[in-house]
Amino acid sequence: MPMPAGLARWQQDRGGRLVDEALKMVNEAAQGGGPAGVHTEILGSPAVPALVDLSKDAEMVVTGCLGSGRWPARLRGSVSSAVLRYAHCPVAIVADDDPSAAQRGQAPVLVGIDGSSASELATALAFDEASRRRVGLVGPHAWSDIDVSEWHGIGWPAT
């Protein structure tokens, strides 16, 4: 089925407006101390494969988690979820909840670790982010007092 006339142009125009809005937000947030360079590109490909491919050469991928459409809320954020699973670098997902103005910029960085080698990178990134923001770092200790040592051979049926 051929693409409707004007659709490609509409997508380019809409993408351009979104990029312009994003650059404006970056400049406002940076207040003169922004990133060394900002490169923008409007791709005509699905978001997940594009972001995963671009993640090969990225320090970090940051996505929003808005979710849209008629899907139930628990199924929204599928792009962020897929990028989180398949990216080749760390991923930060920003929820669409708006923290209170009093907390924004002052809240600590929270790091969750499990002892894996990925935890070492997570800890380093969390320390770096907390240092840049000049905020605290919280590493909660969570555990369970349930003895799971016997679960290995529990013999649950496969379903």
Handedness of CA 45, 84, 16, 13 (dihedral sign): positive
Rg (CA), the chain: 20
Residue 52 is predicted with a pLDDT of 97
**How do residues 95-115 score in pLDDT, each as one tens digit?**
766 656 556 678 899 998 888
**How do residues 49-72 score in pLDDT, each as one tens digit?**
999 999 999 999 988 876 555 555
Residue 74 is predicted with a pLDDT of 55
pTM of the model: 0.68
Helices (H), 31-88: 47-54, 78-86
Query: Which two structure tokens, joined as six digits, stand for 31?
Result: 């207040």
116 vs 69, residue with greater confidence: 116
- What ranges do the domains of the chain cover? 1-42, 45-97, 99-143
Residue located via tokens 């009093």: 102
pLDDT band at 34 (very low <50, low <70, confident <90, very high): low
In 3-state terms, what secondary structure has residue 64?
strand
Class of domain 45-97: alpha beta
Question: Which stretch of 13-17, 38-42, 96-100 has the lowest confidence by average pLDDT?
Answer: 96-100
Are the beta carbons of 59 and 87 closer than 8 angstroms? no
